[in-house]
Amino acid sequence: MAAKIIDGEALAAEMNAQISAQAKALADGGKPVRLVAVQVGENPASKIYTNMQARSCQAVGIGYQLLNIPAETTQQELLATIRKLNEDQTVSAIILQMPLPPQIDARVVQMTISPDKDVEGMNPVNMGRLFFGGGLVSPCTPRAAVELLNRTRSDLAGLEAVVVGHSEIVGKPIAMMLLQSPNASPTVTVCHVATKDLAFHTRRADVLIVAAGVSQAKYLGWQRRRKAGETLPPPKLAPLISGDMIKSGAIVIDVAINRIPRGFDDAGNVLSNDKGKPDMMTVGDVDFEAALQVASAITPVPGGVGPVTTAMLLRNALACAGAFK
């Protein structure tokens, strides 16, 4: 029997309807929600995200402003801008767009954003609150992954949960979220690049959450080296998690979003589509078709964790504005 596909689009639509009502209630009460995105310089990839943020905010009645400052801005100048936004009572929440120019330390800037306006939940204060099981906001992607899991199975007590990926923005927060219940948490194992025999761990997982982005990293690394003049064969971009690495009946949450080529020609170049552009596809870290035959439920990529992550960003903006105090 094929696995149930966990519909992130449907959950996001449900959340957005609630967010819209709450944003209206705040506005009617004289406290409109306003999210300010800070971007240093121009970046095509970042522009895609800011456009998406603007559309999402508009759809639910949240005010959105993109503050685009010059690429040559110094770290001290950026920190001064952040402090001014912290003090501005009309600003509910702040998001720092990545990447930043090399002269700026992203961690220092992130730490300067007020924890009460930190819509991504990445300030160390909010991370510390997450460790102790509470807090105003929490990182959006991990919260989305856990929300989809909880909507699929509410009772996780004693299950074996394996998280593949230990980044500060996804893997580590997911592990903390899974461990928040004092009596009903699963047993959590976190795997990473130094894990020996990854399949040993994934095959015993009742819950498998994968957030490594391996195919994307391999492709970008290959691309950089090719541009630098190296002669390299095309990278092997097979999914990190194959069907035989998944326990029968497991719930699989695929967090990764890998934008990779569909294939390469005999000369090792990326194949082109009918418009003459690189023929790219969006996939996760899990072999989706193979997992459908083994797992009990799985998130698709795209259409799984991604839409809920955006909804969580909007929900965090509400929290920063005082919706849940």
Read out DSSP for 41-56?
S--HHHHHHHHHHHHH
Phi, psi of 322 (to 5 degrees): 100, 15
Q: Which residues contact 174 (CB under 8 A, 6 or more apart)?
A: 142, 145, 146, 163, 209, 211, 255
pLDDT tens digit sequence for 129-158: 998 887 789 999 999 999 999 999 999 999
Residues of the chain predicted below pLDDT 70: 1, 324-325
Looking at the whole model, is its pTM more than 0.75? yes
Q: How far apart are CA 98 and CA 138, in angstroms?
A: 18
Q: Given this model, what pLDDT does residue 48 score?
A: 79
Q: Given this model, what pLDDT does residue 49 score?
A: 84
Tokens coding 61: 């009645």
Cis status of the peptide bond prior to 182, with omega within 30 of 0: no
Q: Given this model, what pLDDT does residue 324 score?
A: 66
Q: Given this model, what pLDDT does residue 163 score?
A: 98
pLDDT tens digit sequence for 164-219: 999 999 999 999 999 999 889 999 999 998 999 999 999 999 999 999 999 999 99
Q: Which amino acid is residue 250, in one-letter code?
A: A
The CATH architecture of the domain made up of 29-117 is 3-Layer(aba) Sandwich (3.40)
Q: Given this model, what pLDDT does residue 7 score?
A: 97
What are the extents of the domains in the chain? 29-117, 139-305
In angstroms, the Cα distances linking 56 to 24, 138, 177, 283 are 15, 19, 26, 23
Same fold, 29-117 and 139-305: yes
Top-level CATH class of 139-305?
alpha beta
The upper half-sphere exposure of residue 218, i.e. CA atoms within 13 Å in the direction of its Cβ, equals: 17
Tokens coding 37: 């995105």
Q: Given this model, what pLDDT does residue 135 score?
A: 78
Phi, psi of 208 (to 5 degrees): -120, 115
Phi, psi of 217 (to 5 degrees): -65, -40
